[in-house]
Amino acid sequence: MALRDMLRVLVIDDMSTSRGLLLQALDSLGIQNVSYAEDGAQGVQQARKSPPHIVLSDLYMPELNGLQVLQHLRSDPVTQKVGFILITGRGDDSIIDTGRKLGMNNFLTKPFTPALLKDCIEAVVGRL
């Protein structure tokens, strides 16, 4: 069985358009086991209830932003080993540095292509 068939992905994004683009890109890569959350707090709850292999989180969201989501995931023994990819429209060095210090595995800047998303995910979990 291919990794893409077993991989559990959680997408956290408050904007339905961005979330839809991510879900569509994951589908085009053959990744079917995908769930999503509409904000950071909901995403953290979902990850704790049913830990995914990898979280794809937007940076700018109300309540909890992507870096705060990452902090919550890393501080909980249930989710501290979950792969984390931060998705942002701004590839700002200070944001990326902060993310790395908090335990981010990778990041992806918008706009992205399915091929870039695939490369980003493979750098974290291995070849799909």
pLDDT (tens digit per residue) in 88-109: 988 789 999 999 999 999 999 9
- pLDDT (0 to 100) of residue 92: 86
Question: CA-CA distance, 59 to 80, in Å (whole number)?
Answer: 19
Report pTM: 0.96
What is the tens place of the pLDDT at every residue in 72-81? 999 999 999 9
Tokens of 81: 């080993």
Q: Residue ranges of the domains in the chain? A: 3-125
**DSSP letters of 47-96?**
HHHS--SEEEEES--SSS-HHHHHHHHHHSTTTTTSEEEEEES---HHHH
What's the topology of domain 3-125? Answer: Rossmann fold (3.40.50)
